[in-house]
Amino acid sequence: MPKQKIIVCIPARYGSTRFPAKVLAKDTGKFLIQHVYEQAKLAKLPDRVIIAADDKRIAEAAKSFGAECIMTNPDCPSGTDRIAEAVGELDFDIVVNLQGDEPEIDPANIDTVAKLLLDNIDYPMATLAAEFETKEQIADPNIVKVVVTSIEHRASSIAIYFSRSPIPYDRENAGIGSVKNYLRHIGIYAYRKDFLLKITKLPQTPLEKLEKLEQLRAIENGFDILVAKVKHTCAGIDTPEQYAEFVKRYVRGKHGR
């Protein structure tokens, strides 16, 4: 079989609701999107890393730090649609969707999600999960939970369901039981290119609309999503407060404190 070509695509939208222009925040001396791009470039498996932007200001920033950027329709309904538009004419087999607000993504996790599709040719899509640390995280609707087929003694499993609610429901403990019974979804995906172009053309599904989770579209249409368990690093940046905490971590790390 010929080598499967892998591209990482980082969707970048200028008008974020909770934190406008966050991908261009630069309190560290680097754009937020630049941190993400540089982490992606450290991954070993991808052949190319691109940014899919909706605004020329993002494209100008990308050019300033040497990143390849493709302009997309500002009206794309989601980051996945933006990626599908960006890679539609490119010659790649596997597309990794890396969020533009994940400056601390572990490059090894990019390789892990891509390798899931390299090693499992019959599956169209893959993602990652990690253990939770606290019950408060499990209760937080902003942190997505995933239930999978048995993951013991296997490199990967198949997603059964994703939810903002605590799943599974622990009946004996009135909802949330032992933290070890829950998995946190890590929002990075790998798609076979033809599947990405197919799934983004399908209409939104009922559960997807209810939970506001795009990945449910694949499950509701009968497609399997492979899931590998990794160590969780840090969450994405959704608010100015989270960005400020990231800046503190970055400065501490840079100065060895």
CA atoms of 199 and 204, how far apart (whole Å): 10
Per-residue pLDDT tens digits for 88-138: 999 999 999 999 999 999 999 999 999 999 999 999 999 999 999 999 999
CATH superfamily of 122-185+203-234: Spore Coat Polysaccharide Biosynthesis Protein SpsA; Chain A (3.90.550.10)
255, pLDDT greater than 80: no
Could you tell me if residue 214 is left (phi over 0), alpha (psi between -120 and 50 degrees) or otherwise beta?
Answer: alpha
What would the mean pLDDT of 170-192 be, rounded to a whole number?
93
Residue 155 predicted with pLDDT over 80: no
State the DSSP code for 17: S
- Here the tokens at position 205 are 């599904």
> DSSP letters of 101-169?
T-TT--HHHHHHHHHHHHH-TT-SEEEEEEE-S-HHHHH-TTS-EEEES--TTSS-EEEEEEESS-SS-
> How many percent of the chain have pLDDT more than 90?
84
Token duo for residue 43: 């991954």
Do the domains 1-105 and 122-185+203-234 sit in the same CATH topology, yes or no?
Answer: yes
As to burial, measured by CB atoms within 10 angstroms (0-12 exposed, 13-18 middle, 19+ buried), residue 63 is exposed
Give the pLDDT confidence score for residue 152 in this predicted structure.
60
Q: Is the pLDDT of residue 153 over 60?
A: no
CATH superfamily of 1-105: Spore Coat Polysaccharide Biosynthesis Protein SpsA; Chain A (3.90.550.10)
Cα–Cα distance measured from residue 127 to residue 109, given in angstroms and rounded to the nearest whole number: 10
Sign of CA dihedral 97, 100, 102, 105: positive
The tens digit of pLDDT for each residue in 63-90 reads 999 999 999 999 998 999 999 999 999 9
Check: CB of residue 129 under 8 Å from CB of residue 215.
no
Q: Where are the domains of the chain?
A: 1-105, 122-185+203-234
